[in-house]
A and B are shown apart, each in its own frame.
Chain A
Amino acid sequence: MEKVQNKNLKIIGEGSYPGGDYEKVKLTGQGEISEDVCSRETKIIGECHIKGKATMDELHVTGSLNIDKKLNSQRIKVIGELNVAKSMKANTLDMRGFLKGSENVELEKMMVKGGFQITGLLNVGDLQVNLQGATSKAGEIGGEKISIKSRNFLKRSYTLEAEVIEGDHIYLEHTTAKIVRGNDIEIGPGCHIEKVEYRSTFTNKEKNSKDISQVNQI
């Protein structure tokens, strides 16, 4: 299959297309791209499956997007679902819904309303999460600002499970972790943490909580 240069790809309805370099990719309906794809602007409404590597400066998804290899991007906005089978790298991610990453995820800024499941390291400069919908999981979380909340109109709140969380400023709610390390750490309701290591300040909003086993200043 020949690669197409500098053209727009438009899929309306259902279709399967080869990859290539595009200016714009626009998909409404259900589509499949069978190879690596490169584009400046991508808009997906519906469902899309990319069976290769995706390099997209601007990515908007309403619906769901599956990528079998790496994803490289600048700005990503998702309402719905994003699954990346290899590593993922972008500048900003604005998400309402669920993110699944099988390897490391690197972002400068990430705002999530919903949840995520990441097996590797989630490395984010500024992470703001409002947990909803389902249990979130991450192997490791590292960054500068980390804020995990679970605020909901309904009473039910959802949890985050992580092995290690490390950052400069950390605020956690409804989080289960083995180790939390950082400069300023603030713990809100519903946390289970085996070990907290902090440098300058530590606040536990739940004064009588016994769910934090060990607190050390280093």
Chain B
Amino acid sequence: MDEGLISKKDLLEQTGITYGQLYRWKRKKLIPDDWFVRKSTFTGQETFFPRDKMLERINRIKELKDTLSLDELANALSPKKKDINLSREDFIERNIVSSNAVAIYEEHFGELDTISFKSSLYIYLLDQSLETGEVGWEEGRQIIQTLHDHFPKLEEKSTSLIVLRKMGVVTVLLVTNSDDFYVDEKTKVAVLLDIDTELDKLLNSLVTGGF
């Protein structure tokens, strides 16, 4: 069996929650639908979860559920909807992103006074891509444009940002649920970022930055 997965039964045993709680949290979108992995076993169909993510999520829900209502919790756990507006200066000063990344974004969408959480995520992803050294100014614009056009459609899913380069030509991809993928030998994977992981990092740096 896959090491990274945990069966529903084991999960409930380990965490001490009940079926009812699990289903209620699923209804309230505290647990994303695509974490429910269906697999056939010798007893029939069973549901599995990504072990680490699920255990961490359940611990967080258990910690927070006494102080927050379930709806508030849903907001706290899906930060893509979070209402944070940062000022442009703060964003750069606190070294969350480089000024280059902001410049690319602004060139495309005009001057920014305040930065919404969504834009800050785009800029952060762009910044991370620039940092790899594989992506230049022109490609950066391509990334921003792709995120802006298509990311809202994929928000609820776990998405990866992939940049492929072949003979100097760059392709930007947004892929959901990508575990493994392979490219031909002339193609180079310039950037591969799991957006959920990056989102957590961004949140952390925002929190440590004092927002």
Interface residues of A (CB under 8 A from B): 106, 108, 123, 125, 142-145, 163-164, 166-168, 178-179, 181-183, 195, 197, 218
The answer to whether A123 and B43 have CB atoms under 8 Å apart is no
The answer to whether A123 and B18 have CB atoms under 8 Å apart is no
The answer to whether A108 and B20 have CB atoms under 8 Å apart is no
Partner of A123, one of B13, B21, B27, B44: B27
The answer to whether B18 and A163 have CB atoms under 8 Å apart is no
Q: Could you give 27 example pairs across A and B, Cβ below 8 Å?
A: A108-B27, A123-B23, A123-B26, A123-B27, A125-B24, A125-B27, A142-B19, A142-B26, A143-B19, A143-B23, A144-B20, A144-B23, A144-B24, A164-B45, A166-B19, A166-B23, A167-B23, A168-B18, A168-B19, A168-B20, A178-B44, A179-B43, A181-B9, A182-B19, A195-B43, A218-B9, A218-B13
Interface residues of B (CB under 8 A from A): 9, 13, 18-24, 26-27, 43-45
- In the bound complex, residues from chain B placing their C-beta under 8 Å from that of A195 are 43
The interface centre, meaning the residue of B13, B18, B19, B26 with most chain A CB atoms within 10 A of its CB, is B19
Closest partner residue, chain A, to B36 (CB atom): A121
Complexed CA–CA distance, A144 and B26 (Å):
12
- In the bound complex, residues from chain A placing their C-beta under 8 Å from that of B23 are 123, 125, 142-144, 166-167
- In the bound complex, residues from chain A placing their C-beta under 8 Å from that of B22 are 142
Complexed CA–CA distance, A183 and B26 (Å):
19
Closest A-B pairs by Cβ, 10 of them:
A144-B20, A168-B20, A142-B23, A166-B19, A106-B27, A168-B18, A123-B23, A143-B23, A123-B27, A167-B19
Shortest CB-to-CB span from B108 to chain A, Å, is 31
Complexed CA–CA distance, A114 and B20 (Å):
24
The answer to whether A163 and B19 have CB atoms under 8 Å apart is no
- In the bound complex, residues from chain A placing their C-beta under 8 Å from that of B27 are 106, 108, 123, 125
8 more A-B residue pairs beyond the given contacts A123-B26, A166-B19, A167-B23, with a C-beta to C-beta distance below 8 A:
A106-B27, A123-B27, A144-B23, A144-B24, A179-B43, A179-B44, A183-B19, A195-B43
Complexed CA–CA distance, A195 and B43 (Å):
10
Complexed CA–CA distance, A131 and B104 (Å):
62
Shortest CB-to-CB span from B22 to chain A, Å, is 8
Shortest CB-to-CB span from B16 to chain A, Å, is 11
- In the bound complex, residues from chain B placing their C-beta under 8 Å from that of A168 are 18-20
- In the bound complex, residues from chain B placing their C-beta under 8 Å from that of A166 are 19, 23
- In the bound complex, residues from chain B placing their C-beta under 8 Å from that of A144 are 18, 20-21, 23-24
Shortest CB-to-CB span from B40 to chain A, Å, is 12
- In the bound complex, residues from chain A placing their C-beta under 8 Å from that of B24 are 125, 144
Complexed CA–CA distance, A179 and B27 (Å):
22
- In the bound complex, residues from chain B placing their C-beta under 8 Å from that of A145 are 20
- In the bound complex, residues from chain B placing their C-beta under 8 Å from that of A108 are 27
Complexed CA–CA distance, A15 and B21 (Å):
45
Complexed CA–CA distance, A164 and B45 (Å):
9
Partner of B18, one of A106, A125, A179, A183: A183
Complexed CA–CA distance, A167 and B22 (Å):
9
Shortest CB-to-CB span from A47 to chain B, Å, is 30
- In the bound complex, residues from chain B placing their C-beta under 8 Å from that of A178 are 44
Partner of B45, one of A143, A163, A182, A183: A163
Closest partner residue, chain B, to A169 (CB atom): B20
- In the bound complex, residues from chain B placing their C-beta under 8 Å from that of A163 are 44-45
